[in-house]
């Protein structure tokens, strides 16, 4: 069973849901009407945070699960939790100013690379056995 990895997956999905709600709130606050995706800097940052989170999820979630299957649940969940924390740091920084998104992006990017590289390495090692 992969309880910890499942929990981190659910946390990632919950965070993504939060970013979607944040876009809706930002639309109301800034007056950007549907279907526009630009018009006010605060809205545009909220929209990009949500879109960027969505762009990373198909990279992170399969790598997270493959890492858990081939290496271990606890380690995968730990790295996955770092990814979620990185996304939160990214959200906080980018919400304030686009120039402040870097640290969170770096944290989540390194976690994603660790999950992908770990899963790839484990799969290749198993194939070589």
Torsion of CA 54, 59, 61, 67, to 10 degrees: -160
pLDDT digits (tens, 9 = 90+) for 31-78: 999 999 999 999 999 999 999 999 999 999 999 999 999 999 999 999
| 53 φ, ψ (degrees, to nearest 5) | -65, -45
Place of tokens 């120039």: 99
0.95 exceeded by the pTM?
A: yes
Report d(CA 87, CA 70) in Å as an integer: 25
Instruction: Give me the pLDDT at residue 49, please.
Output: 98
Instruction: For the chain, give the number of residues.
Output: 129
Burial class (CB in 10 A: 0-12, 13-18, 19+), 28: exposed
pLDDT digits (tens, 9 = 90+) for 75-94: 999 999 999 999 999 999 99
């Amino acid at each position: 069973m992969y309880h910890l990895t499942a929990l981190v997956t659910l946390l990632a999905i919950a965070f993504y849901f939060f970013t979607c709600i944040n876009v809706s709130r930002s639309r109301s606050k800034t007056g950007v009407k549907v279907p526009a995706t630009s018009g006010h800097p605060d809205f545009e940052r909220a929209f990009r945070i949500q879109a960027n989170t969505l762009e990373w999820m198909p990279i992170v979630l399969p790598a997270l699960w493959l890492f858990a299957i081939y290496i271990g649940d606890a380690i995968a969940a730990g790295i996955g939790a770092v990814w979620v924390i990185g996304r939160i740091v990214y959200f906080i920084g980018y919400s304030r100013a686009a120039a402040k998104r870097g640290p969170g992006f770096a944290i989540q990017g390194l976690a994603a690379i660790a999950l992908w590289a770990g899963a790839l390495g484990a799969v290749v090692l198993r194939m070589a056995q």
